[in-house]
Structure 1
Amino acid sequence: MDSIKVHNSLRPGPPVLFTPIEQGKISWYACGPTVYDHSHLGHARNYVSTDIIRRILLHYFGFDVKFVMNFTDIDDKIILRARRQRLLEIEKKKKYTDAELTELGIAAFRAYAKSNLPKLLEGDGAPLDLQNYIPRRDAAYGQVLAGGTLTGDGRPGDDEAKLKMHISNMTTAVIAIGGNQPFSGAEEILLPYFDSLYKESLDTSDQTIFTSLTQLMENEFTKDMDALNVLRPDVVTRVTEYVPQIASFVEKVVEKGFAYEAQGSVYFDIAAFEKAGNTYARLRPESRNDKALQEEGEGSLGKSLGGKRGPSDFALWKKSKPGEPYWPSKWGNGRPGWHIECSVMASDVLGSRMDFHSGGIDLAFPHHDNELAQSEAYYCKHGHEHVWVNYFLHMGHLSISGSKMSKSLKNFQTIKDALASTYTARSMRIVFLHGRWNDGVEITPSMRTQADTWETTVNNFFTNVKSLLVEANETTSAVKSGVEGLSISENKPAEGLLAELEQAKKEVSLALSNSFDTPQVMRIIADIIRKANINIGAPNGNLELPAVESIARWVTKIVGILGLDANAKPPYEGLGWASTAMSADVDPTAAVQPYKAVYNSVLSDTESLGLPTSETLASLLSQSPGPEFDSLVEAGIRDPEQLGLPYLRATSKLRDELRRIVASAAPELKASILNLSDRIRDFDLTNIGVYLDDRPDGQPSLIKFIPAAELVAAREEKAAKDAEKAKAKEEARLAREKAEAEKWEKAKIAPQDMFKGDDRYSEWDSEGMPTKLKDGSEVPKAQLKKLKKEWDRQTKVHGEYITKFGGL
């Protein structure tokens, strides 16, 4: 095994050598979600990337990984969301007159503008209302709405995204308030307004106000992660289950002189920490004086807390104000600060040191830097700096239109919506695998195309290899041969495709050892498949099928390790995507039933055709797939596709024989044979996820396993296209018939009569040609020349009409 190197945020620069605290084991704490809303694609980027690294360490490098993740189930965002929702519910039950509703909406409208869009209150001195909102909005913020920035320079970012969110909330509210329906569209401006008026009226000793929200969102998050095939944590912690331990932890930090109480809150003393020889902001030293990040880390409800000695000191324990949940402590009723939560929970499960700590890159400062400081303060002994985390892994965030995808910016797509519309769990993971885990990523159409192409390449390769093995009747022995396929003799170097495979294995090992370089792994897989496909397409006799199978089995193992097959389990010794969740307790008889049912139906329908007997047909009609199926069961095979092969081969052979004899069959049998042949391929087998690839020159059809949904969708798409072609053909036929009828209807008119009814003329000669215009003047020569050409053409077509219809 190559030495593993990993990007460590504590050591900026190239990857550094990974040395675990305990040989063969890894302790890992991951910052989990703050569960106050549905998870979005930004969360997927974080947790799927984390899962990929965890799987590589578990199933490629063989580490025993203890993975701990927390749910932050109490913080400022949760308090605000839960409290405001409860207040909104109370307000909705009140009886408002129409006038009172409008007055309420306008008051909330102006309050929201004052807090978030103050420029709307500037101007002609008139108060902001529903009528002057649009012109004031466009005058104040039109540049940003048009795609520009607040400063006029650079690209739009988080500030512009936040501004657009506030404008969107205001614009939506205008419509709702104008329609006297503020509770159905203006909630985003009503929520903070009600909170400002009534937050202190809530009895927060009833913590179900908050836990009913967090428990719901935690369950939703877990469902999302399961849907994305993210391994569940070994240990889950929740802040609300650790409050007494948090208070005790804070007490010890105070006792050691690194924190102090002020006005009922407790703050970490950065100056004292550094005076003792420790380092603060080790992850992001350049951000230590960033006031905006500091305020974000303290939370929106912490702004009014006072008594800090240093401007950068951060809260370990917050005095609870009216309208906030609280727990008892030696400093009075309060609640944990944000950063202290992870320090206590991680330490409780993993101890005073851990190998990995991970989270999104936006947590590096202040959250992770503050975690480090308070934990090192807790554990350090006089004169000795304590190492709490050896390696910090920060996942790059997901961007959209230049700004971070975020709940607070409301520029996100939920995981649930994404999986229901534009992604599968596999396709989303493939997109993330094509980017480095520690780099930011903005999903573009070209990135999606690259990922889709890669997935199609792997899908087709697995399908083709399995069909070739079925044709060669080698599947049963291949299944028994193990994941590595052919063995390489120690005395004989690998050649051809096997040499390419050995090189690919070495390159993947190097890539994964180089800070889990999955983009490189994806390129290596695509390249080895390309080489195998070249061999598959080589002239007859040059196919290295055992080597191709070995490549397919190795690719299966790697994509399994990367989490791309939700149905597969370690050690990923199958071939291709697992058709169903692999389990030792699969009932072979039940699993094979769909394939057996199709075979029995085809056998019965073929017999009922009354075909002329032949030795080949008689042999096929009397074949019995049962013994081969029984041997697979005895061999321990539990993959439904493998179990179904005896019945599929028998079905395919019967259909191939029908295709062979149809040319010489009696006319009255041909239609029946063709209909049965098409039905077997397009319906019977398609509906159970099997495609028969017909080949020319009497070659047997290839059996290909393809998801039934894909085959049915392709069949329906083809049927729709065929129907459209038939419709277009019928419309063209009708148009031709109409044109033909109109042509002969016009041809019926004798040339002598064609101009007689035209009121532009008043006299005609004996052949029906006009001689005078309506006003009695002579027909101009140029016009007469044109009319003569028309008369000649009519003479010709009328002659054709006489010939065709006999003048009727």
Structure 2
Amino acid sequence: MADTRRSPSSGGIAVANSLKPGAPVPFVTREDGSVSWYSCGPTVYDLSHMGHARNYVSTDVIRRILMHYFDLKVNFVMNITDVDDKIIIKARRKRLLDIEREKPYTPAGRHALATTAFLAYARANLPLLELSGDGPLDELNYLARRDAAYGSVLAGGVLSTTEGNKPGDAEAKTKMHVANMDAAARGLQTGSVFDDAEEILLPYLDSLYKETIDTSDQTIFTDLTKSMEKLFSDDMEAVNVLPPDSITRVTEYVPQIVDYIEGIIAKGFAYEANASVYFDIDAFEKAGNTYARLRPESKDDKALQEEGEGSLSKSLAGKRRPGDFALWKKSKPGEPYWPSPWGNGRPGWHIECSVMASDKLGEQMDIHSGGIDLAFPHHDNELAQSEAYFYQPDRGEHSWVRYFFHMGHLSIAGSKMSKSLKNFQTIQDALATTYTARSMRIVFMLSRWNDGLEISPDMRKQASSFENTLDNFFTNVKARLTEAGLSSGVQKLSLDTAAEVESELAVEFKQAKSDLDAALRSSFDTPAALQVISRLVRQANVSMSESATDLLTVEAVARWVTKIVGVFGLDPNAQPPYDSSLGWGPANPTASLAGSGGAIADPKAAVQPYSSVFAKVKGDVAALNLTSEAKLNALLAELRPDAEFALLEKELEGSNSRNCDIERLALPFLRAISSLRDELRRAATDPENKDAKAAVLALSDRIRDYDLVELGVQLDDQPDRPSLVKFVPVAKLVAAREEKAAAAAEKARLKEEAQRAREVAEKEKWAKAKVPPQDLYRQDTGNFSAWDADGLPTKLADGSDVPKTQAKRLKKEWERQKKLHDSYLEKFGSA
């Protein structure tokens, strides 16, 4: 079937493609707008960390842009690696440790076990420890030896084997091993070896007993992977990453993997040796194919090749050349296995993706993505074995992937964040302590998706500023619409209508839409896109501050910004096409969202909190008994928010839908409360209410700072205009109130301290003033030995005359003291 292609309208998209390094290349889709995409998913053996979040959130942003901005139909497939060396080792070691815990060890026996593991771990991972002191290493001399051997690395230096002076992965790994030894040393001293020394016990127990584990029961592995996959899915939902259209798991594809390998062997690009199967790179290249298309410079990198084979594969034998990689591995005792024509074994790491992606997306996909650390050998090996499988001699070299997207990795102090280095912050911890789903996404979007990223305090501050700016903008626009009597907004407005109005904001709006489109077409340049939004919002804020506000354009801007941040996934509660509301909801995904325009089953119950506050405020205002305030008393008699609400409720009953924003239903009561408070503020300036002024102001402040805050409502006072009613999250208002109270308390404390300091200074001043000038120097016998009639020194302590320059200085001080003493006598009388 012909593969007709098209480029999305107006200029097309250019993307960074790892298969063609350099400038972005045109992104061309099928005629029907469909895009096939395979993403390398997680190896599920531990909690997901911020490095994973950077990868999958960045992937999600691009996916959303393609679907909801460019209107492409993306078929997104992601794999779950649920069998590989890391999973095997972790699951097996966990089982062995559980078995060991059940053994009847004496305290001395536990100590002996942990000591042997302690020394074995040091020899394998921190060899300088044994060379940094006399006698054998133990938990008592460990700290001194650690500091002597690795103190410089712990302080931020580099190992002697590191080129240059910048720490990297080797130093991060050393710090990880040191941390494990630190904990083990504590455990040996306290007797808590199975808890504190777990990380050193695990590899030791594995070396002793790994072959004793019965792996015919694969629940030892699946119990771990299922629980970790569930936690990964929960993490992705928590950061608002869309679920894949399809998920594939290695353990569900083993028969297909075997068939796929047989197909590669049949074409002469693989060979069997000692019950394992290897890819024949030499045969592949001799047939006219290219190996290591993504990273040709890494083709002969032995360290990366070994990493690609896995830590359990060092004993695999029979390879014809060092670079040949395993498609099928013979399982050793203690490893899971499946039947195959070559004997019991398990899939190689790379073959899984080739088989699953080909099964779901055919012999060619549009996009393949993953972290940059997977480029070689994983993705290069995927490409080679897939192109070998689909190879046709008369067709030439096959192209299995059209565009390779590699997400830049997240680093900490120059080292890649990874599970193996244990230098990571889990997504769960990050959301609990530092980020919301929105703020995390903004931080990642401040950097291009394919660039490396090290999050700095300045970057977090920049993200926070962007989020607060949009928060305030949406709140202010809604308030202005409410003030203008357009509580539901100008629903007839299209996103393009305002461009016809030749206001300065309209011109800026038109340019912003063009600039954002250009940014997204330039390889999804989210930093530039966020800058476009920031500039437009600033201009809209300026427009709102002017007397002749172009409210139609302001609302159109707000709705357009709402749509774009929805496309980016910055509103976890919004749904495509993101143009039915104004503003964004809470920063984390929620099951339900009050005020989001959803169906309200019982409008009376929904507005009851607002109605109750109105009744309370009305009663408290009436109790002030301000008889001279005719307008205020007229308001008390005339305000009927219940009647206005009843009309809204009747309007709902007469419509086909009971969808209504709670904010709209609450407005009659809030307008009434605001009107009463505005009159209270005016009454406080009336001379006739002088005696009641304190009570009036106190009630006015209470309404604003407590009654309405608990409802999530902020009143902005405006000169000569009704207060502006804003809907703001309660937590934000409470935090602002507490911050204001704390600032006031701090101001009062500083004022009190200043007063006390003034009092002390005043006391010290008059204590000094009490001394007559004649006595100022007479007590200083350590420096002087003779004085004149006025008490001025004439001789130094050694009997010599006082030098003229010193005498001149002493005279000036004496004169100042005389003036001070005279003021004392004037104020207090005789001394």
TM-score, with length taken from structure 2? 0.87
757 and 355 in structure 1: CA distance in 2 versus 1, 3 angstrom threshold = closer
Counterpart of 2:405 in structure 1 is 393
Contact 1:751 1:794 survives alignment (8 Å): no
Q: What are the superposed Cα offsets for residues 471-491 of structure 1, whole Å, 9 maximum, x if unpaired?
A: 22233342x2245173555xx
Q: What's the CA shift for 1:748?
A: 10
Counterpart of 2:697 in structure 1 is 674
Contact 2:635 2:676 survives alignment (8 Å): no
Query: What one-letter code is carried by the residue in structure 2 that aligns with 1:725?
Result: K
Q: What's the CA shift for 1:147?
A: 1.9
Q: What's the CA shift for 1:153?
A: 1.7
Counterpart of 1:764 in structure 2 is none
Once residues 388 and 152 of structure 1 are traced to their aligned partners in structure 2, the CA distance between those partners, rounded to angstroms, is 37
Counterpart of 2:729 in structure 1 is 707
1:496 and 2:496 correspond: no
1:547 and 2:556 correspond: no
Once residues 437 and 134 of structure 1 are traced to their aligned partners in structure 2, the CA distance between those partners, rounded to angstroms, is 42
Partner-residue secondary structure (3-state), 1:245: helix
Contact 1:483 1:554 survives alignment (8 Å): no
Contact 1:620 1:650 survives alignment (8 Å): no
Contact 2:773 2:814 survives alignment (8 Å): no
Match of 1:625 among 641, 646, 659: 641
Q: What are the superposed Cα offsets for residues 734-771 of structure 1, whole Å, 9 maximum, x if unpaired?
A: 666677788889999999999999999xxxxxx9x999
Aligned 1:275-674 pairs, distance under 5 A? 275-384=286-395, 385-478=397-490, 480-482=491-493, 484=495, 486-489=497-500, 494-538=502-546, 540-541=547-548, 543-573=549-579, 574-578=581-585, 580=593, 582=596, 584-587=598-601, 588-612=603-627, 614-615=630-631, 617-619=633-635, 621-626=637-642, 628-629=644-645, 630-631=647-648, 634=652, 638-664=660-686, 665-674=688-697
Query: What one-letter code is carried by the residue in structure 1 that aligns with 2:127?
Result: P
Q: What are the superposed Cα offsets for residues 596-644 of structure 1, whole Å, 9 maximum, x if unpaired?
A: 3333332333233333362564246433334554448637653333433
Partner-residue secondary structure (3-state), 1:229: coil
Once residues 820 and 36 of structure 2 are traced to their aligned partners in structure 1, the CA distance between those partners, rounded to angstroms, is 96
234 and 729 in structure 1: CA distance in 2 versus 1, 3 angstrom threshold = same
Query: What one-letter code is carried by the residue in structure 1 that aligns with 2:611?
Result: K
Once residues 605 and 565 of structure 1 are traced to their aligned partners in structure 2, the CA distance between those partners, rounded to angstroms, is 40
Once residues 722 and 813 of structure 2 are traced to their aligned partners in structure 1, the CA distance between those partners, rounded to angstroms, is 69
Contact 1:4 1:17 survives alignment (8 Å): yes
Once residues 496 and 733 of structure 1 are traced to their aligned partners in structure 2, the CA distance between those partners, rounded to angstroms, is 52
Once residues 440 and 687 of structure 1 are traced to their aligned partners in structure 2, the CA distance between those partners, rounded to angstroms, is 43
Once residues 361 and 754 of structure 1 are traced to their aligned partners in structure 2, the CA distance between those partners, rounded to angstroms, is 80
Could you tell which deviates more after superposition, 311-320 or 593-602? 593-602
440 and 738 in structure 1: CA distance in 2 versus 1, 3 angstrom threshold = closer
Query: What one-letter code is carried by the residue in structure 2 that aligns with 1:409?
Result: L
Q: What are the superposed Cα offsets for residues 101-156 of structure 1, whole Å, 9 maximum, x if unpaired?
A: 33222211221122222333446784333455445444544443342343352422
591 and 373 in structure 1: CA distance in 2 versus 1, 3 angstrom threshold = farther
Partner-residue secondary structure (3-state), 2:685: helix
Q: What's the CA shift for 1:498?
A: 1.2
TM-score, with length taken from structure 1? 0.89
Once residues 568 and 356 of structure 2 are traced to their aligned partners in structure 1, the CA distance between those partners, rounded to angstroms, is 29
Could you tell which deviates more after superposition, 138-147 or 191-200? 138-147
Could you tell which deviates more after superposition, 604-613 or 99-108? 604-613
Match of 1:49 among 43, 53, 58: 58
Could you tell which deviates more after superposition, 786-795 or 33-42? 786-795
Q: What's the CA shift for 1:575?
A: 1.7
219 and 670 in structure 1: CA distance in 2 versus 1, 3 angstrom threshold = same
Counterpart of 1:108 in structure 2 is 117
Once residues 163 and 717 of structure 2 are traced to their aligned partners in structure 1, the CA distance between those partners, rounded to angstroms, is 62
791 and 732 in structure 1: CA distance in 2 versus 1, 3 angstrom threshold = closer
Partner-residue secondary structure (3-state), 2:196: coil
98 and 495 in structure 1: CA distance in 2 versus 1, 3 angstrom threshold = same
Aligned 1:134-173 pairs, distance under 5 A? 134-145=143-154, 146-149=156-159, 150-151=161-162, 153-173=164-184
Once residues 15 and 757 of structure 2 are traced to their aligned partners in structure 1, the CA distance between those partners, rounded to angstroms, is 70
Q: What are the superposed Cα offsets for residues 486-538 of structure 1, whole Å, 9 maximum, x if unpaired?
A: 3555xxx8452212211211121122112111111111111112222333334
Residue identity (%): 59
Partner-residue secondary structure (3-state), 1:346: helix
Q: What's the CA shift for 1:287?
A: 1.3
Q: What's the CA shift for 1:211?
A: 1.8
Once residues 164 and 763 of structure 2 are traced to their aligned partners in structure 1, the CA distance between those partners, rounded to angstroms, is 69
Query: What one-letter code is carried by the residue in structure 1 that aligns with 2:50?
Result: L
193 and 646 in structure 1: CA distance in 2 versus 1, 3 angstrom threshold = same
Once residues 586 and 283 of structure 1 are traced to their aligned partners in structure 2, the CA distance between those partners, rounded to angstroms, is 55
746 and 170 in structure 1: CA distance in 2 versus 1, 3 angstrom threshold = same
Could you tell which deviates more after superposition, 46-55 or 335-344? 335-344
Could you tell which deviates more after superposition, 312-321 or 129-138? 129-138
Contact 2:133 2:145 survives alignment (8 Å): no
Q: What's the CA shift for 1:655?
A: 1.0
Once residues 332 and 552 of structure 1 are traced to their aligned partners in structure 2, the CA distance between those partners, rounded to angstroms, is 64
617 and 483 in structure 1: CA distance in 2 versus 1, 3 angstrom threshold = farther
Once residues 505 and 83 of structure 2 are traced to their aligned partners in structure 1, the CA distance between those partners, rounded to angstroms, is 57
123 and 660 in structure 1: CA distance in 2 versus 1, 3 angstrom threshold = closer
Query: What one-letter code is carried by the residue in structure 2 that aligns with 1:519?
Result: P
Contact 1:41 1:412 survives alignment (8 Å): yes
Once residues 672 and 449 of structure 2 are traced to their aligned partners in structure 1, the CA distance between those partners, rounded to angstroms, is 48
302 and 596 in structure 1: CA distance in 2 versus 1, 3 angstrom threshold = farther
Contact 1:51 1:230 survives alignment (8 Å): yes
Once residues 152 and 268 of structure 1 are traced to their aligned partners in structure 2, the CA distance between those partners, rounded to angstroms, is 33
Q: What's the CA shift for 1:731?
A: 5.0
Considering only aligned residues, what root-mean-square deviation do their CA atoms show, in Å? 3.6
Partner-residue secondary structure (3-state), 1:481: coil
Could you tell which deviates more after superposition, 171-180 or 702-711? 171-180
Could you tell which deviates more after superposition, 449-458 or 556-565? 449-458
Once residues 668 and 366 of structure 1 are traced to their aligned partners in structure 2, the CA distance between those partners, rounded to angstroms, is 83
Once residues 571 and 240 of structure 2 are traced to their aligned partners in structure 1, the CA distance between those partners, rounded to angstroms, is 8
200 and 527 in structure 1: CA distance in 2 versus 1, 3 angstrom threshold = same
Contact 1:483 1:553 survives alignment (8 Å): no
Q: What are the superposed Cα offsets for residues 301-334 of structure 1, whole Å, 9 maximum, x if unpaired?
A: 1111111122111111211111111222222222
Counterpart of 1:14 in structure 2 is 23
Once residues 220 and 71 of structure 2 are traced to their aligned partners in structure 1, the CA distance between those partners, rounded to angstroms, is 44
614 and 317 in structure 1: CA distance in 2 versus 1, 3 angstrom threshold = same
Q: What's the CA shift for 1:335?
A: 1.5
337 and 482 in structure 1: CA distance in 2 versus 1, 3 angstrom threshold = farther
Query: What one-letter code is carried by the residue in structure 2 that aligns with 1:160?
Result: E
Could you tell which deviates more after superposition, 81-90 or 299-308? 81-90
406 and 483 in structure 1: CA distance in 2 versus 1, 3 angstrom threshold = farther
Once residues 7 and 93 of structure 1 are traced to their aligned partners in structure 2, the CA distance between those partners, rounded to angstroms, is 55
Contact 1:40 1:413 survives alignment (8 Å): yes
Query: What one-letter code is carried by the residue in structure 1 that aligns with 2:472?
Result: N
Counterpart of 2:222 in structure 1 is 211
Q: What's the CA shift for 1:408?
A: 0.8
Counterpart of 2:718 in structure 1 is 695
Once residues 208 and 621 of structure 1 are traced to their aligned partners in structure 2, the CA distance between those partners, rounded to angstroms, is 74
Aligned 1:750-769 pairs, distance under 5 A? none
Q: What are the superposed Cα offsets for residues 216-243 of structure 1, whole Å, 9 maximum, x if unpaired?
A: 2112111211111111112122222222
Query: What one-letter code is carried by the residue in structure 2 that aligns with 1:393?
Result: F
Once residues 422 and 483 of structure 1 are traced to their aligned partners in structure 2, the CA distance between those partners, rounded to angstroms, is 38
Once residues 123 and 575 of structure 1 are traced to their aligned partners in structure 2, the CA distance between those partners, rounded to angstroms, is 66
Query: What one-letter code is carried by the residue in structure 1 that aligns with 2:90?
Result: R
Once residues 386 and 117 of structure 2 are traced to their aligned partners in structure 1, the CA distance between those partners, rounded to angstroms, is 43
